[in-house]
Amino acid sequence: MTAYLIRRVGQILVTLFLFTTLAFFLIQAQPGSYASFYAFNPDIPPEVKAKIEAAFGLDKPLWQQYLIHLKNYGTGNFGVSFRHYPQSVVDVILERLPRTVMLFLTATVVSFYCGFFLGKAIAWKRGGVLEYTATISGALLFTVFTPWFGLMMIWIFAFKLGWFPLGKFLDPLLWRDATVEANAVFTNMILTAAAVSVFLFIAVLVTRKFARRYQGRTLIPLLGVVALGVTLVWWSSGAGYLALDIVRHMVLPVATLTLISFAGTMLITRNSMLETLREDYIMAARAKGLPEKEVRDRHAARNALLPVVTSFVFSLAFAIDGGVIIEAIFSWPGMGRTLLDAVLSEDLPLAIGAFVFVGVFALAAHLVADVLYVYLDPRIRYQ
Amino acid sequence: MGGRYRWLARLIAIVALIFFTACTREIIKEVQVVATPTSVPTTATAEPVTQTEGEKVYQLGIFADLTTTNFWSYLGSSSDGTIWNAYVLGGAQPALYGYSDQRFDWVPSLAAGFPSPLLEETIGGQTFWTTEVDLKEGFLWSDGSEVTAADFVFTTQTVLDLELTASWASSVNPEFFDHAEAPGPSRLKLFFKQKPGLAVWQFGTAFMPIMSQNYWGPVVEKVKQQGDIIDQQKALFAHLPSGQPAAGGYTFKKWERGAFAEIVRNPEYYFTGATITEYENGAYAESRADGYRFSAYGEPSGGKSLEYIIGPYADSTIYSIYGTQEAAILALRKGDIDLILNPIGLQRGLQDQVKGQSGIAVIENPSNGFRYLGFNVRRAPMSDKSFRHAVATLIDKEFLASTVLQGVAIPMYTTVPEGNGFWYNPEVPLIGKGLSRTERVTQAVELLRGAGYTWETEPEVSEDGAFMKERGKGLKMPDGQPVPELEILAPSAGYDPLRSTFAIWIERWLNDIGIPVRANLTGFNIIVERITDPEGFDMWILGWSLSLYPDYLEAFFHSRNALGEGLNRGGYSNPEFDKLADELLAETDLEAARRHVFKMQEFLADDLPYVVLFTTPVLEAYRDDRLEFPYTEVLSGIQDQNALTTTVLIK
Amino acid sequence: MRDQGAINGLVKIRVARLRLAVRGLKSGWTLFASSKIGLLGLGIILSFALLAVAHPILMATVWDATTYDPVTGYAFDQVEQPAPPSWRHLLGTDPLGRDVLSQLMSSTASEFFLGITAALVTVTIATSIGAISAYYGGVVDALFMRLADIIIMLPTISLLIVLTALFGLNLFQLALVLGLLGGFGGTTVVLKSQALTIKVKPYIEAARVAGGSQFHIIFVHIVPNLLPLSLLYMMFTVTAAIFSEAVLSFFGILNIRMSWGIMINTASTGGYLLGGTKFWWLIVPAGASITLLCSAFYLVGRALDEVVNPRLRRQWDS
């Protein structure tokens, strides 16, 4: 197990190295150079341009530039953003990261759950109305033109019905006298979510050991208590209304991301369930006369979950892509919008930095999925 | 059996919950200590603070985040010189002189009157050109201290010492500006190394934003301890000011990154309550309740073209960031914001949406800039004036602007926009204006044939100009060589649909008469890169935003700027034009400068290094049920007037 | 030189193989045809193909280029642009006065070109690499699989956005990039695991014993057996390609003159995206086409999945 993890981390480090190299060659292969963006700006005198070039190492031979690049990226130095000069790329990214992480974790988890439960249901009842509806609407939503769909969601739910705010992640009138920064609230919300998940994970493991049969009945009150606890903590912190404001702004983008991405998980779950249902132990469980629900949830679904977890990684990359679009449409200034804005404003260091960051983020998630997989599958013990 | 375990599980759960609650509480407290400024009390569990009774908030929508709140950086770093920074930070600092509202007269702001004429003085063996300016008394910073001549001296000295570039360098141009002295707190004397032209003094240093020495003095001192100049600049730009005094209508309050920025009313604003009057005869006058009077440009009498009393009338102005125009328009329609600020204005489809909706008004103004087709005159056939004239004749700007682009582009013919009335030369010929398609083709063919071009198949157009009877083929240059395959570099539709539309149509029209040309719609960075190589391109389509004072003509077309990284990319070179441009730069008299500019426009219209194509109207929408502006007709629109934050009435 | 008998024998074997293939196709078709979802998808694809084919014919016969050219045309017959649908312009005109139906049809061809080019590149690369990796294993395998790891984790749209900023992609380059990403990415992994199961089949061993060259074994025995699965993944690649193009064009960062994405971009930059139902013809035709064609390929893929992967068929059927 440990050996497996070490090997996996090693592999991921190699991947990271290759990825950084790829980034370098992308920069080198593009037709312009960093310096040329300054060249056309009438306000910068030539001597300053020369200094900028020197600072970026652009006057050195290629192999030296490569080494500088590796060193820079290895030490987390992605250069200086053109548009936010003299802010470094990392500073810009760190400012946006919490907002993206919050949106994504929520959306990914919600869409994953929806997809999993729907997939389970349609695999169990094949040929029913549910299967056709879910498959076709899933496929349509999966392939719907996201920008337009996002705008329609805003138009219907925020503008016409007025249920939710019109994009953005907070209400300026509410925040103008707030003494905490939005990023601090975001960070705390992420920490809360992390703490709750870790706690629930442990609780599930513990209750599974002690009270296998009654797990379902234990978890529901437990969830209620956790929710109450979180509410109390936030209430007493004084930032509760701010967090609530953020949550209010999150509903619509999360719903949109969920609708466009649940189909992936749903179909993989369905296929995986169908394969599992042919296994002998399902026959055996049925033959034993266990209730259908029991067979479905306890025997089939749990084993069918494995490939679904693997696909989590794929869906993550998909979610990040969806995020580029959703963030632009919902005025949510996260990583995706940073990337797009950087590209549209020709801020290449920021564009590449944001892209590498997104890649690293995906790699980290990859690793987490690997670990989860090992935990979930008692049959697999990696060498 | 199950029962016992169930209890155990619940017990564990409760213990864990308590532990967890304690933990998260710790985390939140810890972070909050960091995030909360010590002097400000927390709003613990308080009800959300919103707009309180009677408080007036002016709510604006913008489309990108600020990049800094540091005024030095905003004007000193090209990357921070964004329009969005300008909207929020723009009006905060005082300047000696400024433009009057709507008409752009050159009027005093911090200065108590016009400056003394330039004098040549020799001090210690060195010759200077000097001028003196009196400052207004009782002009206060928001912290209550007075704006003095020392602040001005401090600002110019900082620019020189730290070798600041970008806008700072155009305000304090080290080639001209030597230093400033403060003979008294309200008296200022400026020393120039050589005779400063209008652009250097009246439209340069006089407009320089003045920074508070009280606040920035210590910061600049510290900054100067850093390594080399670049480090010092970086350190100055990196300083995030808090509590920096302002002398405009508002002071900066809050920047929530990615979400909004807020400025609040400056109770010390000098001009609050002042009445500004502009007369039809050209006169300008201002008066204050305390008896202060100023007038210029003629006798302040007769019909008034504009009169208003300066506020600000809003207690606070909030700039909210929206990701798309669509979202901002919905917010405007819903009443979340009062005005959308966008340098390119509103799209026509969005205008259609809000037109007729009660509570929303749409206004239209021309923008100060142009998009152009540039020729690389170093290469044949672009080097041939007749060829350039033929191309200009073929381009039907009216058709494209009014028919294809439906009024989202305004055709332009001259290098100085007509709206810039003082500098615009009405005598300059407008090539091809009002011609029919048949006439265009015929004239272009005549021009080319006259210059010795030949065809294998001559182009022929139908009587009504609706179609080509015969497309030109096998065009040969006067030397018998076939015209090579030419390329027009133009921005892709995503960057600018207007320019790409023009490029596609120009390609078609040129092809019709046999000029083998292809529009290459590509990224902005690729175009910029391509046109830095003198031999690597044929024609290109880009655009310029312009200043009111048209010294840009020198930057775009003087032959010395055709080398290295100058802006004369097409390599236009005409010694006579160069001479005029040099004279313009040196001119100190407004009227003489105007004659130079008129002459330069005539040269450019004949030599045609650019075919000026069009400019865009700035469409703006605002809630007229909430706002009342003193005026809405102005070059580049309300967005270019800082959203009129100090004069708008909030209902 | 071989004698006639041997040649006859060879021909017989070939014919037999062909018959087998035809029978396989037939039974595959029967299976495919039993899936309503697959037939629906196929129907949609065929109707779009018809549109694509019809465009040049219409341009050559009924539609004159001045009015109907999808990029430079202008509807002089309409007073105000965008004009609502009329008999001359069945889907109206766009804000620049161009016929929407003509744009829609001419774009269809480019979408097919894009999708199919990308899919062919993907499948060619993925099948070859999958087979080679599975056959050789070891370093070759490790190298390709690590490469696949990187590509899988890359968010495609984000990567493409960066690439367009650096290079300015046109339609063919986009297809190529998408093909390469698919070919070296996820599809390879799937095809490789399939190839692994084929590699251990007895007939491969037989071929090897009989002295077949490695090239022969990989490309004559393994690759053909991978083709059904490849076909399936072609469908998914097409979906991904069309979708990516639409999103990138929507953001206006591709060097393409006309496509469904550009059509929506034109509507969007003109500010017509949120006009509600008032300007529906600017958004609905292009938007629905993207969704329909993408879903159609996806549905066909799903139906093929049931043909290729017997374990997914209904339990009760077999």
Please report whether residue B269 resides in a domain. Answer: no
Cβ-nearest to A340 among C251, C268, C299: C251
- Write down the pLDDT at residue B57: 93
Interface test with B, best of C255, C266, C283 (most B CBs within 10 A): C255
DSSP A42: T
C-alpha distances in angstroms, C67 versus A243, B142, C70, C103?
A: 56, 62, 9, 12
Residues of A with Cβ-Cβ distance to C166 under 8 angstroms: 26-27, 29-31, 348
DSSP B370-403: EEEEEE-TTSTTTT-HHHHHHHHHH--HHIIIII
Report the gap between the CA of A331 and the closest CA in chain B (Å). 4
Spell out where B31-76 has E strands. Answer: 57-62
Residues of B with Cβ-Cβ distance to A241 under 8 angstroms: 47-48
- Write down the pLDDT at residue A379: 53
C-alpha distances in angstroms, B233 versus B226, B230, B236, B238, C101?
A: 9, 5, 5, 8, 57
pLDDT at B23 over 80: no
Q: Is the ipTM of this complex over 0.90?
A: no
**C265 close contact with B: CB closer than 8 A:** yes
Shared domain for B549 and B428, answered yes or no, is yes
pLDDT at A86 over 70: no
Q: What angle, 0 to 180 degrees and rounded to 10, lies between the N-to-C axes of helices A348-376 and A89-124?
A: 40
- Write down the pLDDT at residue B272: 92
Q: Which of B45-59, B392-406, C271-285 shows the highest mean pLDDT?
A: B392-406
**A41 close contact with B: CB closer than 8 A:** yes
Tokens read off for C26: 């037939």
The phi-psi region of residue B76 (left if phi > 0; otherwise alpha if psi is between -120 and 50; otherwise beta) is: alpha
Report CB contact under 8 Å: A43, B165. Answer: yes
Predicted confidence (pLDDT) per residue in B66-107, tens digit: 888 899 988 887 667 778 888 999 889 999 998 888 777 788
The answer to whether the CB of B460 falls within 8 A of the CB of B513 is no
The answer to whether the CB of A164 falls within 8 A of the CB of B334 is no
Q: What angle, 0 to 180 degrees and rounded to 10, lies between the N-to-C axes of helices A302-329 and A348-376?
A: 160
* Angstrom distance (rounded) from CA A103 to CA A246: 10
pLDDT band at B216 (very low <50, low <70, confident <90, very high): very high
- Write down the pLDDT at residue B53: 56
CA angle B172, B175, B177 (to 5 degrees): 45
Report CB contact under 8 Å: B349, C96. Answer: no
Residues of A with Cβ-Cβ distance to C283 under 8 angstroms: 148
Report CB contact under 8 Å: C251, A344. Answer: yes
pLDDT band at B642 (very low <50, low <70, confident <90, very high): confident
Among B229, B264, B299, the domain-final residue is B264
* Angstrom distance (rounded) from CA A66 to CA B107: 55
Report CB contact under 8 Å: C72, B505. Answer: yes
Q: What is the overall mean pLDDT for chain B?
A: 84
Predicted confidence (pLDDT) per residue in B322-349, tens digit: 888 888 888 998 889 999 998 878 877 7
- Write down the pLDDT at residue B46: 37
Q: What is the overall mean pLDDT for chain C?
A: 81
pLDDT at B217 over 50: yes
- Write down the pLDDT at residue A239: 78
pLDDT at B132 over 60: yes
Please report whether residue B629 resides in a domain. Answer: no
Sign of CA dihedral A246, A247, A252, A256: positive
Q: What is the overall mean pLDDT for chain A?
A: 76
Where is B294: in which H helix or E strand? strand B293-296
Place of tokens 């072609």: C234
Residues of A with Cβ-Cβ distance to C311 under 8 angstroms: 274-275, 278
Q: Which of A80-84, A373-377, C281-285 shows the highest mean pLDDT?
A: C281-285
Query: Based on C-alpha coordinates, what's the Rg of chain B?
Result: 29
- Write down the pLDDT at residue C310: 63
- Residues, chain B, total? 651
**B344 close contact with C: CB closer than 8 A:** no
Among residues B617, B591, B586, the alpha carbon closest in space to that of B422 is found at: B591
Percent of chain C with pLDDT over 90: 8
What is the mean predicted confidence (pLDDT) over B396-418?
84
* Angstrom distance (rounded) from CA B212 to CA B235: 18
pLDDT band at C140 (very low <50, low <70, confident <90, very high): confident
**B525 close contact with C: CB closer than 8 A:** yes
Please report whether residue B631 resides in a domain. Answer: no
pLDDT band at B510 (very low <50, low <70, confident <90, very high): very high
Shared domain for B114 and B242, answered yes or no, is yes
Please report whether residue B147 resides in a domain. Answer: yes
Predicted confidence (pLDDT) per residue in C16-61, tens digit: 666 766 777 777 777 777 777 788 889 999 999 999 999 999 988 8
* Angstrom distance (rounded) from CA B581 to CA B602: 13
DSSP C311: G
Residues of B with Cβ-Cβ distance to C252 under 8 angstroms: 492-495, 497
Q: What angle, 0 to 180 degrees and rounded to 10, lies between the N-to-C axes of helices A215-237 and B2-35?
A: 20
- Pick from A37-41, A125-129, A190-194, B534-538: least confident: A37-41
pLDDT at B369 over 60: yes
* Angstrom distance (rounded) from CA B251 to CA B144: 13
pLDDT at B21 over 60: no
pLDDT at C267 over 80: yes
B169-178: burial string, b at 16+ Cβ within 10 Å, e else: bbbbbeebbb
- Write down the pLDDT at residue A134: 80
C199 or B630: which leads in pLDDT:
B630
What is the mean predicted confidence (pLDDT) over B125-147?
92
- Write down the pLDDT at residue B14: 46
Report CB contact under 8 Å: C166, A145. Answer: no
pLDDT at A54 over 80: no
Report CB contact under 8 Å: A37, B525. Answer: yes
- Write down the pLDDT at residue C210: 80
Where is B318: in which H helix or E strand? strand B316-321
Report CB contact under 8 Å: B326, C271. Answer: yes
- Residues spanned by the domain of B114: 3-264
Please report whether residue B279 resides in a domain. Answer: no
DSSP A252-321: HHHHHHHHHHHHHHHHHHHHHHHHHHTSHHHHHHHHTT--HHHIIIIIIIHHHHHHHHHHHHHHHHHHHH
Interface test with A, best of B79, B237, B334, B552 (most A CBs within 10 A): B79
CATH number at residue B251: 3.90.76.10
**C270 close contact with B: CB closer than 8 A:** yes
Cβ-nearest to C165 among B404, B497, B523: B523
- Write down the pLDDT at residue B267: 92
- Write down the pLDDT at residue B315: 93
Among B236, B264, B292, the domain-final residue is B264
- Write down the pLDDT at residue B445: 92
pLDDT at A119 over 80: yes
Report CB contact under 8 Å: C72, B508. Answer: yes
Predicted confidence (pLDDT) per residue in A213-265, tens digit: 555 566 677 778 888 888 888 877 777 888 888 888 989 999 988 888 887 78
B340 or B16: which leads in pLDDT:
B340
Percent of chain B with pLDDT over 90: 43
pLDDT band at C62 (very low <50, low <70, confident <90, very high): confident
Place of tokens 């210690």: B124
pLDDT at A367 over 80: no
Where is B132: in which H helix or E strand? strand B126-134
* Angstrom distance (rounded) from CA C175 to CA C256: 12
Tokens read off for C243: 């979708």
DSSP H helices in B36-100: 71-76, 83-89
**B497 close contact with C: CB closer than 8 A:** yes
The answer to whether the CB of B72 falls within 8 A of the CB of B164 is yes
Please report whether residue B650 resides in a domain. Answer: no
pLDDT at B139 over 70: yes
Where is A3: in which H helix or E strand? helix A2-29
Count: domains in chain B: 2
Place of tokens 């995706």: A336
Sign of CA dihedral C259, C86, B401, C66: positive
Report the gap between the CA of A358 and the closest CA in chain B (Å). 19
Q: Which domains does chain C carry?
A: 39-317 (1.10.3720.10)
C293-316: burial string, b at 16+ Cβ within 10 Å, e else: bbbbbbbbbbbbbbbbbeebbeee
Among residues B261, B224, B260, the alpha carbon closest in space to that of B239 is found at: B224
For A328, the closest chain C residue by CA position comes to C251
* Angstrom distance (rounded) from CA B546 to CA B524: 19
- Write down the pLDDT at residue A42: 41
Among residues C232, A381, C71, A126, the alpha carbon closest in space to that of B504 is found at: C71
Sign of CA dihedral A110, A114, A119, A120: positive
Among residues C147, C48, C300, the alpha carbon closest in space to that of A139 is found at: C300
Residue B344, classified by CB atoms within 10 Å of its CB into exposed (0-12), middle (13-18) or buried (19+), is middle
What is the mean predicted confidence (pLDDT) over B351-374?
86
C141 or B27: which leads in pLDDT:
C141
What is the mean predicted confidence (pLDDT) over C202-208?
80
The answer to whether the CB of C95 falls within 8 A of the CB of C149 is no
- Write down the pLDDT at residue A9: 80
CATH number at residue B426: 3.10.105.10
- Write down the pLDDT at residue C10: 63
C190 or B121: which leads in pLDDT:
B121
pLDDT at B206 over 90: yes
- Pick from A379-383, B492-496, B594-598: least confident: A379-383
Please report whether residue B171 resides in a domain. Answer: yes
Interface test with B, best of C268, C277, C279 (most B CBs within 10 A): C268
Interface test with A, best of B15, B25, B31, B34 (most A CBs within 10 A): B31
Amino acid at C108: T
Tokens read off for B4: 């016992």
Among residues B195, B107, B207, the alpha carbon closest in space to that of B155 is found at: B207
| Cis amide bond preceding B429, omega within 30 | no
- Write down the pLDDT at residue B20: 42
State whether residue C317 is helix, strand or coil: coil
Predicted confidence (pLDDT) per residue in B227-269, tens digit: 888 888 888 988 888 888 999 999 999 998 888 999 999 999 9
What is the mean predicted confidence (pLDDT) over B413-442?
85
Among B264, B294, B315, the domain-final residue is B264
Predicted confidence (pLDDT) per residue in A264-287, tens digit: 788 778 877 777 777 777 778 777
- Write down the pLDDT at residue B34: 31
Please report whether residue B182 resides in a domain. Answer: yes
- Write down the pLDDT at residue B58: 94
Q: Which of A320-329, B37-46, B335-344 shows the highest mean pLDDT?
A: B335-344
pLDDT at B26 over 50: no
- Write down the pLDDT at residue B166: 80
The answer to whether the CB of B189 falls within 8 A of the CB of B183 is yes
What is the mean predicted confidence (pLDDT) over C123-128?
89
- Write down the pLDDT at residue C313: 56
- Write down the pLDDT at residue B612: 94
**A272 close contact with B: CB closer than 8 A:** no
- Residues, chain C, total? 318
Amino acid at A65: Q
Shared domain for B245 and B393, answered yes or no, is no
C-alpha distances in angstroms, A16 versus A339, C139, C154, C158?
A: 20, 19, 12, 17
Tokens read off for B509: 């029209």
B residues 307-326 closer than 8 Å to C (CB): 325-326
* Angstrom distance (rounded) from CA C81 to CA C63: 19
Percent of chain C with pLDDT over 70: 89
